[in-house]
Structure 1
Amino acid sequence: MTEDLHRMELDRVPTGIAGLDLVLQGGLLKGGVYIVQGVPGAGKTILANQMCFTHVAGGGRAAYVTLLAESHTRMLQHLRPLAFFDESVIPERLYYISAFKTLEEEGLKGLLDLLRREIRGHRASLLVLDGLVAAEDTAVSDREFKKFVHEVQMHAAMNECTVLLLTTGGAGPVRAEHTMVDGLIELDDRLFEVRNERSLQVRKFRGSGALRGRHAFRITLDGLVVFPRFEALFATPSAPDRASRNRVQSGVDGLDALIEGGLVEATTNVVMGPTGIGKTTFGLHFLARCSAAEPGLMLGFYETPARLRLKATALGINLEGLEARGALEILWQAQGETVLDELAHRLRDAVRRRGVRRLFVDGLGAFIESAVHPERISRFFSVLSNELRALGVTAVYTLESRDIIGPTLEVPITGISSLAESLFALRYVEVQARTRRLLSVVKIRDSGFDPALHEFEITGRGVRIVGRFAGYEGMLRGYAEAPNAPPPEPTGAPKRRPRQE
């Protein structure tokens, strides 16, 4: 009985679109009929054509039938710059045909006959009907249109031809054709204040599961690239978590002695502090310990790789040498209109590609600013941290606090304590009219640490923990005072020396 059920499972037809097959958990089902709907300009035509070209490149045959769409010549001109476009497959394996005249003169029956001839005559295993709304407008009744959709389903199943029906529309009342087809994929392009973000949602997928919710996508020179929502795709980490008590050296002179030998392996660690305090420098020291056994990765947003290499050299850290040996890779992402899930997938792909064990992300604020839905941030970072831990990555993130000097350190992420095993706070403190740098270990989960405030300095050899900052009060307010210290001398004009006679 089990073998019979296995044989009854339908074969998959991959879309060939990066990320979309992950959302669809393998692709569309062979012989299924799917509606692809969306607002004008959302990307329906590119999606369908990209799937056609990818399908024929894999040995299939496809027919693209248009009703009220742009002319084929114009459409192909727009597609030519895209990487998937291959003119050599037209018209032998990918055939374009206009059915508008047939629809006008012969109605839905004539259109159905044309589709049947195209499927059989070209032995098409994939068919696209671009402009379903025109067919619906031609129908004399809802019943006739339902019958048309039903007939299309019958011919698709009989000939094992997967069919895409493209139409304009968005979220709204459920229509009859939505209940009849095997799946409904909705594309959207929304404005969030001053920026747009495209998204895709599988609203229905009969006979299979799919990742729920909206998933961001871009239209690039490679075509559509879909970024499955990270919380949905990795709700369960891709590998079992293996907790460890091993320690990873921080690379900062004097820091490991404060935290029982180093950072706990495969954990998330946050270095927080105001601008200029030395957060990036801490991260560079962490990367300086990369090796063939502990490959490293840096994802940065604020300083280009060239500037980082120069900065590291001034600290006595040879990033270029580490890169040349293959021990380190630097990824740089300019802070433009980046997509939150795109960053996460790019980061994870780089980690898996090189088996990264040391990760430095400078800084978390860029992820926060990339989110068009800020309420996602806590869940997003929780899932990202869990996935990186499961991959055996010891991660160090920087997080910038708002105030340069003051009594509070505001964390812009709700629940940061539950997301990170370790939290290091860097502060400025004013002592006798000069600023000094302090480090405090706020927490290290399941480990002991020295809770005292420690002064550190940055020299030509990098960061060095000087020692405990004792003998002063009020340091966490930003202004240190020595108990019973005499009041400072008033500032004024220097005293004149008596005139010599």
Structure 2
Amino acid sequence: MTSPPVALMNTDVPGLDALLGGGITPDALVLVIGAPGAGKTVLSSQIIFAAVRQGLRALILTSYSEGNVKYLNHVRPFAFFDDAYVGDVITLLSMQSLLTGDSGDAADVLMRTIRAARAQIVLLDGFQGIAPALTDSHMVRTALAKLAVQTSFLQTRLLVTLAGNGRDSMFNPEVTTADLVLSLSYQLRERRHERSIEVVKQRGRAPLPGDHSYMIDTSGVRIFPRIEVYPKPNPPKVSLGRARFGLPGLDAMLGGGLNQGTTTILVGTPGAGKTTLGLHWALNEASPKAQTVFVSTGEFPDQLVRKADVFGLPLQQAIAADALRIISLSPVDLNPDMAMSQLLAAIDSATTRRLVIDDMSVLLRVLGTRAHSFLAALRALLYGWGVTALFLLEIAPFDGPVAVVANTPVDVLAENMVLVQQGDVSDKQRRTLAVLRMRFSDYDRTPRELLLKPTGIEVLRPE
């Protein structure tokens, strides 16, 4: 006879439930370990308020160093906080007021408090701070172990914040006791603050492995799981269709258009027309039931609209009709995991058919040595969703495209490759376009002239 699945409580922390494979079990001891300023209290409080919104009663025991007033001042600015819960379904007490010199066994005192509050989820914030009320750190660990056993019996979730490094061997006794251990890292790297979270331990389920970026803003903590460990969707049925540019000359060169479900690199020198070609392809056949997502790292949406207007492309109308969505990413301090979180949230596997990313150079710079695995994971996800993708990549004038793409991380996306260049031909500035590679189709290798005019875009026949 099969046991029924354990009911999990959603944390409602963006990205955390995906990291944990669903949520937190009813009797879990959760350790949140991190350096000062890492966000331990914010993350734990966010989980507490999510729990009370789901109908649970909560108890928050504040640290010796902070106390109730400071705690409230600390969490009140966040969007998850609601004063109406405090004093009603959330009981707020100070550990310092409970654990006096004659209070007796710390675990017994805390358990009496938990029972009196009828708490179904408890936060012990800064649990190391009870050490002054005991004799040594061994007694702190003993108290934690007793609490874990008794709260588990009551089916009460227990969240405990500790200062330190979750991988430090000094926490081995606590980690052994815990059901779930979250380690928060907060450090300065190349003048930027970087935050990452790791599930060091989780009983009963397999979390997403490795460390993952997170940020703290007015909404609270937001976690961005690495795309490399995202569950891969089942591959779709193979489509023999084409994703056309809507430019007869170019579609003829491509044997009818790009193969649906493939990835294409559009390589070009500055000013050669990459973005304009990308917009034309993005808009062709776009509709609310066959949407395009356009990611721009260099231009704002209004700038793209103005550029499209110059060439008679109906970008504004497509946006208004929900046929095309623009994601604008700042190249300054770009976090690739955050960027992919925005992208994947915008992609609807049921309706999104095309993706354009302009320009890949920015993403490649911030990814560094991680680029190959990151791009391979992105390609696998897009293929599983049946999305055809066009990646724009800028090269320096006179660079050979093979030298730029071959044996580099971006080659994993180059199932098809198109080159557009601009230079002097017979004392005139001309743009030329060539198809360099198509993995699943025959194609015309003859370079052609590309015209960008207010009346539209045209690919001329070869002379």
TM-score, structure 2 length as denominator? 0.93
* 2:275 counterpart of 1:280: yes
Distance 1:319 1:193 in 2: 39
CA contact (8 A) 1:364 1:399 kept: yes
1:157 is paired with a residue of what secondary structure? Answer: helix
1:378 match: 372
Distance in structure 1 (CA, Å) of the matches to 2:31 and 2:287: 51
Conserved 8 A contact 1:378-1:413: no
Q: Which residue of 2 aligns with 1:61?
A: 57
Match of 1:343, as an amino acid? Answer: A
1:214-252 deviation per Cα after TM superposition (whole angstroms, max 9, x unaligned): 011111211111111111123xx2232332221121123
Deviates more, 1:129-138 or 1:27-36: 129-138
Render the CA deviation track for 1:136-164: whole Å, top value 9, x for unaligned: 56543565334212211121112111101
Equivalent residue for 1:328?
A: 324
- Indicate how the Cα distance of structure 1 residues 241 and 354 shifts in structure 2: closer, same or farther if over 3 A, else same: closer
In 1, distance between residues paired with 2:245 and 2:426? Answer: 32
Describe the superposition over 1:12-40 as per-residue Cα deviations: whole angstroms up to 9, x where unpaired: 22222111011011112211112111011
The residue that corresponds to 2:383 in the other structure is: 389
Identity of aligned residues (%): 30
Question: Which one-letter code corresponds to 1:240 in the other structure?
Answer: P
In 1, the alpha carbon distance for the partners of 2:272 and 2:145 equals 67
**Which of 408, 419, 432 is matched with 1:414 structurally?**
408
Secondary structure, aligned partner of 2:169:
coil
3-state DSSP of counterpart to 2:147: helix
Deviates more, 1:56-65 or 1:113-122: 113-122
Measure the CA separation in 2 of the matches of 1:133 and 1:431.
74
**d(CA) in 1 for partners of 2:407, 2:219:** 35
CA separation in 1, counterparts of 2:93 and 2:86? 11
Partners of 1:360 and 1:407 in 2: how far apart?
Answer: 23
Contact 2:65 2:129 in 1 (8 A): no
Answer yes or no: is the 8 Å Cα contact 1:69–1:130 preserved in 2.
no
Alpha-carbon spacing, 1:384–1:26, altered in 2? closer, same or farther (3 Å): same
Q: In structure 1, what is the equivalent of residue 205 of structure 2? A: 208
Q: 1:304 to 1:143 in 2, by over 3 A?
A: closer
Q: How does 1:129-144 map to 2 (within 5 A)?
A: 129-136=124-131, 139-141=134-136, 143-144=138-139
1:119–1:159 CA contact under 8 A, matched in 2: no
1:110-131 CA distance string (max 9 Å, x none):
4322321222111101101111
Q: CA deviation at 1:210?
A: 0.9
State yes or no: 1:356 paired with 2:337.
no
Cα distance between partner residues in 2 of 1:89 and 1:418? 51
Tell me the distance in 1 between the aligned counterparts of 2:349 and 2:131.
48
2:185 is paired with a residue of what secondary structure? strand
Asked whether the equivalents of residues 101 and 133 of structure 2 are also in contact (C-alpha less than 8 Å), the reply is no
Q: Which ranges of structure 2 fall in alignment gaps of 5 or more residues?
A: none
Query: Any gaps of 5 or more consecutive residues in structure 1?
Result: 470-501
Contact 1:119 1:161 in 2 (8 A): no
The 5 A counterparts of 1:32-51 are 32-51=28-47
Instruction: Provide the rounded CA distance (Å) in 2 between the counterparts of 1:391 and 1:438.
Output: 33
Secondary structure of residue in 1 paired with 2:229: helix
User: Could you tell me whether the CA contact under 8 Å between 2:60 and 2:92 is conserved in 1?
Assistant: yes
Q: What amino acid sits opposite 2:430 in the alignment?
A: R
**One of 144, 153, 156 as aligned partner of 1:158:** 153
Does 2:19 align with 1:28? no
CA contact (8 A) 2:422 2:431 kept: yes
- Give the letter for the 1:449 counterpart: Y
Cα contact 2:289–2:351 (8 A) shared by 1: no
Is the 2:295–2:328 Cα contact (8 Å) retained in structure 1? yes
CA distance in structure 2 between the aligned counterparts of 1:353 and 1:245, rounded to whole angstroms: 18
Structure 1 position 337, deviation (Å): 2.3
* Residues 1:102 and 1:322: Cα distance change in structure 2 (over 3 Å): closer
How far apart in 1 are the matches of 2:385 and 2:87? 47
Tell me the residue number matched to 1:217: 214
Map 1:95-114; keep pairs closer than 5 Å: 95-106=91-102, 109-114=104-109
**Matches for 1:393-404 after TM superposition, within 5 Å:** 393-401=387-395, 403-404=396-397
CA distance in 2 between partners of 1:194 and 1:96 (Å): 38
Deviation (angstroms), 1:95: 1.2
Which residue of 2 is the match for residue 490 of structure 1? none
**Residue 66 of structure 2 corresponds to residue 73 of structure 1:** no
Question: 3-state DSSP class of the match of 2:142?
Answer: helix
- Give the aligned residue type for 2:202: F
Please identify, of 111-120 and 262-271, the stretch whose mean Cα deviation from structure 2 is larger: 111-120
Q: Is contact 1:281-1:462 (8 Å) kept?
A: no
**Partner residue of 2:88?**
92
Q: Contact 1:35–1:184 at 8 Å: present in 2 too?
A: yes
Does 2:178 correspond to 1:190? Answer: no
115-124 vs 286-295, greater mean Cα deviation: 286-295
One-letter amino acid matched to 2:126? G
Aligned equivalent of 1:436, options 430, 433, 440:
430
Which residue number corresponds to residue 449 of structure 2?
Answer: 455
Aligned-pair distance for 1:386?
Answer: 1.4
Which amino acid in 1 is paired with 2:251?
Answer: D
Kept after mapping to 1: 8 A contact 2:235/2:383: no
2:293 to 297, 304, 314: 297
Measure the CA separation in 1 of the matches of 2:363 and 2:218.
24
Q: Does 1:445 align with 2:442?
A: no
Secondary structure at 1:153 match in 2: helix
Helix, strand or coil for the counterpart of 2:113?
helix
From the superposition, tell whether residues 122 and 451 of structure 1 become closer, same or farther in structure 2 (CA, over 3 Å). Answer: same
- Alignment of 1:83 with 2:52, yes or no, is no
Hey, what does 1:478 align to over in structure 2?
none
Q: Count residues in correspondence.
A: 459
What is the deviation of 1:84? Answer: 0.8
Alpha-carbon spacing, 1:189–1:262, altered in 2? closer, same or farther (3 Å)? same
1:458 is paired with a residue of what secondary structure? strand
Paired residue type of 2:221 = L
Q: 1:406 to 1:47 in 2, by over 3 A?
A: closer
Deviates more, 1:176-185 or 1:221-230: 176-185
Q: 3-state SS of the aligned residue for 2:352? A: coil
8 Å CA contact 1:64, 1:129 repeated in 2: yes
